[in-house]
């Protein structure tokens, strides 16, 4: 597995955003960097961002230069991980800010560009893949990701829910068992403590779905990683 990461992700890019706080990414970085090969990404280009987001939204985020650069770098890192994955190399994008609350024309929840959506839409539009499955393991529903792909049947969006940790893991397993095969599998977002249980099911879905990529937008990684950490991916 390769880790897609840029040192700039340690920088504080907003004073009003808790996801941008200093030290927020360090636990994940300690768990992953140095343990796996690292790839340094470039920011996503304007054309790739425009595959997902409306021009008015893009102009609004570009007006905050520091924030735009970091958000574009996060989207670019997720796209880099996806490109590695379609070559047969599992990858994990350790990036911030997160993205699953970013819709085509709006955003909230400290998300600005939808990282996983930019990656998946780019590969679909380029013809590199014909289908994708996004497993969103964040506590909150990824309304932005759902809005982007709601009318694109080539993309399955799954958001398991459960009242307890075990129920959540059971729901996750059931959702994956019912999912259609896909060219690209992306795990998106973070849920602390889910790493061990999710790994039990990850090998099964990857066996049915030949290409996998992962992108971290909040806390830590999915496969393989220390049991005390959680996961986010694309």
Cα 104 from Cα 209, distance rounded (Å)? 28
The pTM score is 0.84
Distance CA 160, CA 95 (A): 22
The pLDDT tens digits of the residues spanning 84-135 come to: 999 999 999 999 999 999 999 999 999 999 999 999 999 999 999 999 999 9
Structure tokens at 135: 């497993």
What is the three-class DSSP state of 51?
A: coil
**Distance in angstroms (rounded) separating the CA atoms of residues 110 and 96:** 10
Chain length of the chain: 234
Beta bridge partners of 134: 157, 186
Q: Which domains does the chain have, with CATH numbers?
A: 2-216 (3.40.800.20)
Q: What is the pLDDT along the chain (234 residues), one digit of tens a residue?
A: 999 999 999 999 998 898 899 988 888 898 889 999 999 999 999 999 999 999 999 999 999 999 999 999 999 999 999 999 999 999 999 999 999 999 999 999 999 999 999 999 999 999 999 999 999 988 899 999 999 999 999 999 999 988 888 898 889 889 999 999 999 999 886 544 334 344 444 444 444 444 444 444 432 233 322 222 223 343
Bin 34: left if φ > 0, else alpha if -120 < ψ < 50, else beta: left
């Amino acid at each position: 597995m390769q880790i897609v990461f840029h040192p700039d992700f340690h920088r504080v890019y907003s004073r009003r955003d808790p996801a941008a706080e200093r030290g927020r990414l360090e636990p994940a970085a300690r768990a992953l960097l140095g343990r796996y090969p690292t790839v340094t990404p470039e920011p996503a280009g304007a054309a790739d961002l425009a595959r997902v987001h409306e021009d008015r939204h893009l102009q609004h985020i570009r007006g905050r230069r520091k924030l735009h650069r970091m958000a574009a770098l996060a989207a670019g890192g997720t796209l880099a991980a996806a490109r590695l994955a379609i070559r047969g190399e599992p990858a994990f994008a350790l990036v911030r800010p997160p993205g699953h609350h970013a819709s085509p024309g709006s955003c909230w929840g400290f998300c600005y560009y939808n990282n996983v959506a930019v990656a998946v839409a780019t590969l679909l539009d380029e013809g590199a893949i014909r289908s994708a499955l996004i497993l969103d393991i964040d506590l909150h529903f990824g309304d932005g990701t759902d809005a982007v792909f709601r009318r694109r049947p080539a993309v399955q969006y799954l958001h398991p829910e459960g009242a307890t940790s075990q129920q959540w893991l059971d729901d996750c397993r059931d959702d994956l068992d019912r999912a259609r095969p896909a060219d690209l599998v992306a795990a998106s977002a973070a849920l602390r403590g889910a790493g061990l249980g999710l790994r039990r099911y990850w090998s099964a879905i990857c066996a049915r779905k030949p290409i996998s990529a992962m992108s971290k937008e909040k806390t830590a990684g999915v496969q393989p990683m220390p049991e005390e950490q959680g996961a986010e991916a694309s």
